[in-house]
């Protein structure tokens, strides 16, 4: 897919039609091409093999591991 400034202009028009309060700065074709060349040549870093999931750690500290246990806990203590 060829990315052009027209795509950014069309997205801004769609945002405006939808009443969205966001706008995208429209780059030049030269800037788009430069970014695409850079991103194609970038040596992407691999995702870490072990994630630090703070929420999962908190559930584990409570001894709750399954989705069903989490729902039951929320019902009991949070009124959900």
Q: Tell me, yes or no, whether 56 and 30 share the same domain.
A: no
User: Does 10 lie in the same domain as 27?
Assistant: yes
The pTM score is 0.51
Q: Are residues 58 and 80 in the same domain?
A: yes
Q: 49-53, 61-65, 70-74: which range is least confident on average?
A: 49-53
Alpha helices (H) in the chain, listed in sequence order: 5-18, 29-41, 54-61, 67-78
Return phi, psi of residue 61, to 5°. -65, -30
In total, how many domains does the chain have? Answer: 2
1 and 32 Cβ atoms separated by less than 8 Å: no
Per-residue confidence band for 54, with pLDDT thresholds at 50, 70 and 90: confident
Domain residues for the domain of 33 are: 5-41
In angstroms and rounded to an integer, the radius of gyration of the C-alpha atoms of the chain is: 23
Phi-psi label, residue 5: left if phi above 0, alpha if psi -120 to 50, beta otherwise: alpha
């Amino acid at each position: 897919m060829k990315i052009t400034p027209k795509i950014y202009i069309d997205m801004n028009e769609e945002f405006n039609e939808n009443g969205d309060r966001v706008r995208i700065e429209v780059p030049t074709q030269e800037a788009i091409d430069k970014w695409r060349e850079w991103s194609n040549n970038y040596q992407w870093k691999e995702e870490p093999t072990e994630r630090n999931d703070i929420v999962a750690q908190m559930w584990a500290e409570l001894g709750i591991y399954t989705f069903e246990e989490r729902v039951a806990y929320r019902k009991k203590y949070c009124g959900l």
